[in-house]
Structure formats: C-alpha cells, structure tokens
Amino acid sequence: EIVMTQSPATLSLSPGERATLSCRASQSVSSNLAWYQQKPGQVPRLLIYGASTRATGFPARFSGSGSGTEFTLTISSLQSEDFAVYYCHQYNDWPRTFGQGTKVEIK
C-alpha cells in the first residue's frame, strides 16, 4: 500500500499570506496525484489532478506541483473561503490512498 503523508497537520495563516502544503508518497505515484478541498460540513471537492491541473471552478491562486514522491499545493494569497482541510490522493496504484489532511486555519 502506498502511504501518503501530508505536512504540516495544521497551517495557521492570515488572509493574504501564502500557503504551502506538502504531500509525500511512500513510493512513486508518477503524476497520478490529486488534491481535494473540504470545508466544514461539506463534501470533498476536486481541486487539482495530474499533480498540477486545476479543476473547474478554482482560481489561479491554487497551484500544484511535483511528481514521483514529492508534491506541493500552493495557495498564493489566502482568501477567507480557502480556509479548509486539504487532502492529497494517489490514484497510481491499488489500494487508492489519501493523506491524512492538512487543515488551513485562520491565524
């Protein structure tokens, strides 16, 4: 099983600041990596797929990078609506696995 490890567990930042979230895979997943955003009480929403392709509806301040085992989600300037939990997910191999999530909270 490919273990996905996200860091940090919690990121406390102010609106306007840059957020950098990391996701590490225990073995290579190529670019078969997605990110999801989940706000409290809401359904997870696809944010990034193919490690770097932004899903429909998300603004350009969200960007993804990386390949192999190291991935990064960057939010260039946090807006109030961006405070949420973010999960990475590998779809390179079975079983599909998620990271444990990074909570981006208001400082």
Task: Please tell me the count of residues contacting another protein according to CB under 8 A.
Answer: 22
Task: Please return the burial class of 89, using the count of CB atoms within 10 Å of its CB with bins 0-12, 13-18 and 19+.
Answer: buried
Q: What are the tokens at 76?
A: 């260039």
Using rule CB under 8 A, residue 36 touches another protein: yes
Task: Please return the burial class of 41, using the count of CB atoms within 10 Å of its CB with bins 0-12, 13-18 and 19+.
Answer: exposed
Using rule CB under 8 A, residue 49 touches another protein: yes
Least separation in angstroms between CB 39 and another protein: 13
* Site mask for another protein (CB under 8 A), range 51-70, x = bound: ----x---------------
Binders of another protein among residues 68 to 87 (CB under 8 A) are 87
